[in-house]
Structure 1
Amino acid sequence: MKLITDFRNSELSLRLIRKIEDESVSECNYSIMEVCGTHTVSIFKYGIRSVLPENVELISGPGCPVCVTSQGEIDAIFRIVNNNDISLLTFGDLMKVTGSNGENLIDLRSEGKDIRVLLSPLDAVKTAAREPDRQFVFVGIGFETTAPAIASALLEAKKMGISNFSILPYCKTMPEVLGCLLDDPKLDIKGFLCPGHVSVVTGKKIFQPLAQRGRAAVITGFEPLDILSSLLHIIRQVNSGDYCVYNNYSRVVDNAGNEKAVQIMNTVFKPSPAFWRGLGELDGSGLGLKEEFSAFNSLEKFNVKVPRINEKKGCRCGDVLKGYIRPNLCPLYGKQCTPENPVGPCMVSSEGACAAYYKFN
């Protein structure tokens, strides 16, 4: 068998498109959701929706970690920065996300607050070690993809005895939100494009409940051939009624996942309730710090509670994340809300559905 190395091959793409057309039953509606921001961007970037039959519908779900971070969690960041003499360390995607009062981290930095963009959690620990007389807060946002790196950073900080470093524990996990989507009476999802990055860490097992509940589940990569072939796998599962978790990204994802990464994550974190933008509180969907790492919890360290705050008036990021609407149906989209002047996080993050829709449509 010839190994495929060109995952953007136009001839193979056309063959897959024809296969999808041939095998999609006209009487059936194939509603397929991706729950990964990188998949969302790839689908828009390569125009995949435009080449599919009308009854194969792709829906963008809650796959962007910045987007699903609740407004209360965002506002807690601003409370810590405004009320304490600290340095905030964050990934770049968060810089334009606005608090309830309309300001963002770029605004605060222009006002003299010490806010720094870093590429990795370990860099945050190294920064704190270099400046022991200053308190550093790292915004720990992400899914299972990012959580092991954040856990490794905390293990290193504890080992080094660093006391001027803490994190906002905002990481969330996939299984619970997928279950929430399946329970939603407004959605009739036939299959899921399962996130490749998350699967590198977790492997196949976290998606087994999808197949057990009669939904197709295919782990996939981010190139056109990856996505098209995965859509074909989903259509075949729906047609046959034989549901399983299929690893269509085996060149990167091991079926068992990365056991070492999971072990590191479980050493530091424990399941906790988490509040998702648009979806509300989901039990066990967050990663709270275990007791032995509680000294690294910025919320406890600075005595800040995460408030329960609704989304901004007119913003429908929550409905976009749930797959209820496409971005252009939000009344703010392309008017008050643009990448240059974003209102909601789905327009801020490079992996947000609104930002991708705006850029590639």
Structure 2
Amino acid sequence: MSLLDLHDDDLLEIAGKLDLRGISNLRKVNQRLRNLIETRPPTHDFSSVTITADDDLKVVYDSGTPAGQETISYSNLNQNCLVNQKRLVGQDYREIFCRDFELNIRYQKGVLDRLCVVEGNNCLGLKRICEILQSRDTNLPVKFLRIFCDFQRQVFQILSAVEPLTLKSIHILLFRDSTQQLDEYERLEQWRSAEELDGNVNVDSSTHFRRLLHFRKVTVCVERLFLKDLIVLRDAFLRNPRHQKFKSYFPQFPELQEFMDLLGMEKDSGDLEEDSLSKMYFRIPNSSDVLAIGICLNLFKFRRLVVAEKYAGKDVIEDIGEVGFFQR
């Protein structure tokens, strides 16, 4: 008896015991097996997928169990494809990667906790990844999306391919684009519905901060920071407990000393250091919460602290009516 003499149910049981590469190879045996796996696919329930498009292409599929992680590496060797050091003669490693990734991501049945896409030196590989994600019949359900790449357009392509109803957090790290156009992002429902933004999204002026206030937590970079925009953030944090953190790096803040004086900080801006925050704590009116405001030479942070009792020993200013920054 040969493999092809088995009933469909037996073949599917075998397929269910194969690893990801094994399922991909089984589909290539003949049209019957391909059709069988297409119509009754062995579903996956990955918790996270990490793709690295470097000189080699690598995918880490993690099912969230101690034995549930599988790493597959694809590389080129003398015009042949190496898959985890197994040689496929005369095959293009990028095509093999694309077929495998498309198959595996197609059969994902649940929501991914995390999808991470990292561009190294393989821009063509990243382009194919974007195409595969966009070719799905439905958007890929993801909670946490992390994208490390060169250009905003690549972020746009990947972001537009995930399901907006499940997306909670966006982490963007761009290597080349110096400033990004928020207009492009704002076209996407994914951007508008996510709760957290992190990374190095870089805007030219803090006047754009108000366009980010739909996020619960924000980390961005700004070329030029203005005091008037920190007042906008102040009002948002005092009014709405949904706002939990707003953090921004900046190279220019002409009103830095004035800001410190309004807060009542007993130091000069010349005493500040990079990446070392000087903090003050203020009781939010009609609330037990505390607003923590930190500032240093290249960074500021607003953070709403819900468990105020933990910060009782940090000289919380109870009456913000006595603080110039809250009267401006």
**Shorter-chain TM-score: what band?**
under 0.3
State TM-score, norm by structure 1.
0.22
Q: Which has the higher strand share?
A: 2
Which of 1 and 2 has higher RCO (CA within 8 Å, sep 6+)? 1
TM-score by length of structure 2 reads 0.23
Q: Answer 1 or 2: which has greater helix percent.
A: 1
